[in-house]
Structures are given as C-alpha cells and as structure tokens.
Structure 1
Amino acid sequence: MELRQLRIFEAVVRHRTVTDAAHALDLAPSSVSARIRALEDGLGVPLFERTARGMRLTPSGERMLTWARRLLDAADQARREVVGTASALRLGALETIAATLVPRVLARLAARSPDVATEIRASGVRDELLAEVIGGTLDVALLLDTGDALGDLGFAPPEEPLTFVDVEPVPLVVVAAPDNPLAGRRDLRPDDLDGQSLLVNVENCSFRLAADRFLGPGPTRVRAGGVPVLRAWAEQGLGIALLPGFAVADALRQGSLAGLDLPVPDISLRLVWRSDREALPGLRELLYACAATPVG
C-alpha cells in the first residue's frame, strides 16, 4: 500500500464518487480509478461496490477506512516531527461561534498550554464541518446542538458516528425592538407570538431549528440572514428573533433590543471529534479551554 493510494481511497469514501474525488484531488477520474484498482489488487479484496448512486464500501472497505485514516494520521505526524514542524490542532467552528467564542477559547488555551498550536476554519455550514471531521481535514469542531445524540436539535445525523461532549449551555433569548407590543408583557407563551414576524436564517441553521422546536408554528417566518442580520433587523422593528444570549448581550444592555419574557431552553455548545483521534496532542487541553469559557 502506498500513502497516495490511501489518500485517494479516503477521498473517494468522502466524496462518494470517483468524479467528485478526482475533482477535489485535481486528478483525472481515470487516475483515481486506476489507483483504487491497484489498491484492491494489492490487497486481494474489493473495497467498493460500484453502484449507480456512487461508490459504496464493502465490509473490507469499512475496515480499510479505519486503517487508512490511522496510517495517514501517523504519516502526517511523522513528517511534522522529522521536519521540525509543530503539529497544529485543526479546529472548525460555526461562524457565529468563531466570531464570539473561539477567541476566548484560544486565549485560555494559550494561557494553559502555550505549546499547543491551532488552525481555525470558520464555516456557516454545519455539514461541511462534520464532513471534514469525518474525513480528517479537521480534528475537532465546535457546533450547537441539544439532546443525547448528535443532531437532536433537528439536524440529519452525521454520515459516520462521531464522539462529542457538551462543554457549555448556550442560553437563548427571544428579542424584539423595544416598542414591540410584546416587549412589556409578562409571562408570555408561544401562542402569544401568533401574528408576529419571526426573523430566521436558512432551514439548517441552529437558531431556526431551535425556534421551530421551542416557539411553535405560530409566528410567520421571514428569511433574513445570519445572526448579525437577524439582530439588526430585530432592532429596526422588522420582527422578533430567537438568538443566543452572547450575541445580543450588548444590544440588551444598551436598550436597542428588548428581551421578551418567554423562557426557552438552552442549547449546548458541543465539541465533536472522531473517536480514533482522541489521543491527538492538544485535544484534551482544547476541551478544558472550551469548558472553562462562559458563553452565557
């Protein structure tokens, strides 16, 4: 087995088709197919079932995937140690978290463990972060979720099992412009929101899913944008919004937003990684840094 074969094999698993894997690797599809056939010939077993919907792993392929990831990780670590390059922990985070929470996490990590280097990738797409954790291009990711399983907030479960731990609760607040008729009322219930415009982001957004779960179908959904846009539109009286407390704390203090008296459950800041990478240098230190960073 060659490392190049293993990288191509892992890319085909991640992208599901030879064509998509070839595009990601900047190779010709014929080259990808030839490398996969050579790997299968060398092992003497088929690794994929070729179907009309793409490449599907055989039982031997499932076992090979575990070993391929271990070998590629070991090769990367060996290269870094030989050339004297410090291994950086690759952290992915949703854009809202990257902007508001990750700087504090990095500050605590630097204070506790200054020898742990990090690389940060921010994304607005949760599924991209999970796919990169599964594929090994990210070591860990910080997401928002709730419940006992990954995706219980309403997301589709990841394509492969991942390990996670909830490091902090994330309080949510229903906010509106101070002159909204609901702003001064006490003991609101979800039914009281009927007829209101509820500002939301895309359907696969954590806060939209939380609104669907906790606020019910009564308010009319109005597509606006990400957290900064939702906050700005709510300040201008264009609707109400369900947002994380850390994103609206300043606006609430300054009086440009009012928090409605409608309690909603917290969601969780969730650190996600592959179970076979738990021994990565710096992972435990990052977990401590996340858990010690208040987000409320």
Structure 2
Amino acid sequence: MDLRHLRVFLAVAETGTVAAGAERAGLSRATVSEQVRALEGTLGVALFERRRDGMALTGPGRRLVPAARQLLEHADAVRRLVTGVPATVRVGALETLVATRLPAVIARLADRRPDLRLDVASMMRGPLLRAVATGELDAALLLDAGTSLGELGFDAGGGALQFVDIGTVRLHLAARPGHPLATAGPLAPADLADEPVLVTPPGCSFRMAADRLLGDGGRRTELASVSTAKAWAGQGIGVALLPDFAVAGELTDGTLVSLPLQGPPVELALRLVWRGADESRELRDALYAIAS
C-alpha cells in the first residue's frame, strides 16, 4: 500500500471533493483521481461514492480514515526519528492575538516541548475555523465567551471542533479622564443610553462583546480598529470596550480610565480550538504543553 495514496485519500475525504483534495495535496485533479482509484484497486473496495456535489465516503472509506491517519502518523514518526527533523504543529490565530498573546503561548510550548516546531498563520475568525475544520491547520487561538464554542455570537461550524480555555482577556469600558460616568458608580447598560459607544466592525470579537454586554444601550459609532477606538475614547468622543493589552499603558499613565460596570469583570476566554478527529500524538503533546 502506497503511503502517498493514503495521503491523497485523506485529502479528498477531509475536503469532500477531488478539486479541494488536489489543492490540499498540491497535485493535479487527474493525479488525485488516479491515486484514489489505485488505492481502491489495491484494497478491492470502493472508498468513495462519486456524486455531482463531491465525493462521499462509503462504509469501507469511513473505516479507513482513522486507520490511514494512524498509519501516516507512525510513518511520519519513523521519518522524524531517522532524520532528526522535529514534528510541526500548525497553529492559526486572530491577528490581534498573534501580536499580543500568541508569543507567550509559543514560549510556553518551546520551554516544555523544544522538540516540537510551531508554524503560525494569522487569519480572520471565519477562515481560521474553516482551516481547522478542513485540516489545513492543526489548531487555532481565538476569543470566545461562555461554555460552548461560538457562544460569543459566531458560527462554530457544527460541533466537530473541540476546545480548551488557556487564559482570559479582560475588557475595560475605556473613557477619557474626567468623564461624567467615571464617578457615577457601577454602570448598567441603561446608563449608557445617550453615550456614544465606539465599536469595531461587526464580526470583531470586541464588537461582539460590546453588543453582548450592552444590548441596545448606547449610540454605536463604528470605527475600523481597536487603535482608532482607543484614540477617539482618549479624546472624549465616546467610550469603548477594549482589551487590557490594548489599553494597559493608558490606564497606568492616566490618559484613559476604566468606567466601573455592574457585575463581575468583563472577560473573554482565550480559547484553543482543534478538530477532535485529528488528535495526532504531536498535537496532543502540543495541546497539553500549552494548556497545562
């Protein structure tokens, strides 16, 4: 049995079409189709049902998926043992986290598992989750809330992904010093009814957090970025719900203040997401090293 055929088989099985599988494998469609047929000929069974909308696994195909992954994992382990090349774990993250929180995660992994290599990609949340779901990435780091994936308000992709929370990101309702609400006591959303609330575009984690926290409270002013919202808040144009890593310096030097809010501190979960079906030994080791 040719290991190349197994890799191509998994590429098609995980993406659902010959075209997408070919793109994943870096081969032509004709080559992918030929290798799938060759594997079916070797095994003597049909692994896919060819449909107009793609390739659906047959019963034997579904049974082959976990066995093929295990066999390829063992083959890769043997290759690394012989060549001394470290295992690679592919991790994606929101751009905000690549610059602010991912370096500490990488340092933790490097300290605990220096034999693992980390490849990092920066993506928006939608492409990030799709890349994990299709196997393009092994894991992703994003922001969320609650006890289930997507509770912040985004589509989590149907439940195939697993996650572990490895930290929190504190959010502050930031305003200029001397803002009238700074001494008004703990604020409820209704207290912001007439206040301009500076928000990032829809889909941004901090915009979702603001909408979730404030509901209809406040008059939204949409800005392009966290840095712009911070600058406008500092000029007294409105208030903005911003992460601590963006405003820590300003809160320390007094150029911004954190308005008191009712209830516990507002936090987002720093969430590491992966596809349960793809828990290779290397990925499990990396997840354990990062999360423990």
Shared fold per TM-score greater than 0.5: yes
Rounded to whole Å, the distance in 2 between the matches of 1:253 and 1:285 is 32
Cα shift readout 1:258-282 (whole Å, capped 9, x = no counterpart): 2122245422112223445263244
Residue in 1 that maps onto 2:291: 287
Q: How far did residue 189 of structure 1 move?
A: 1.0
Residue in 2 that maps onto 1:201: 200
Indicate conservation of the 8 Å contact 2:186/2:261, yes or no. yes
Runs of 4+ in 1 over 6 A off after TM superposition: none
Indicate conservation of the 8 Å contact 1:197/1:219, yes or no. yes
Cα shift readout 1:95-154 (whole Å, capped 9, x = no counterpart): 22221222223334444x263433241423223333333444433322222222222222
The SS at the match of 2:181 is: coil
Q: How far did residue 60 of structure 1 move?
A: 4.2
Cα shift readout 1:219-268 (whole Å, capped 9, x = no counterpart): 34433234334333433444432222233211211222221222454221
1:246 aligns with 2:250: no
Residue in 2 that maps onto 1:152: 151
Q: How is 1:61-210 mapped onto 2 (pairs within 5 angstroms)?
A: 61-111=61-111, 113=112, 115-159=114-158, 161-178=160-177, 180-210=179-209
Cα 1:119–1:57, aligned 2, differ >3 Å: closer, same or farther? same
Indicate conservation of the 8 Å contact 1:97/1:142, yes or no. yes
Sequence identity (%): 44
Extract unaligned runs of 5+ from structure 1: 289-296
TM-align CA RMSD: 3.0
Rounded to whole Å, the distance in 2 between the matches of 1:22 and 1:152 is 34
Cα 1:89–1:17, aligned 2, differ >3 Å: closer, same or farther? closer
**What is the number of equivalent residue pairs in this alignment?**
286
Quick check: which has more Rg, 1 or 2? 2
Cα 1:83–1:205, aligned 2, differ >3 Å: closer, same or farther? same
- Scaled by the length of structure 1, the TM-score of the pair is 0.80
Residue in 1 that maps onto 2:28: 28
Residue in 1 that maps onto 2:227: 228
Indicate conservation of the 8 Å contact 2:109/2:286, yes or no. no
Judge which range, 202-211 or 20-29, deviates more.
20-29
Rounded to whole Å, the distance in 1 between the matches of 2:21 and 2:219 is 41
Cα 1:41–1:215, aligned 2, differ >3 Å: closer, same or farther? farther
User: Which residue identity is paired with 2:205?
Assistant: S
Cα 1:86–1:233, aligned 2, differ >3 Å: closer, same or farther? same
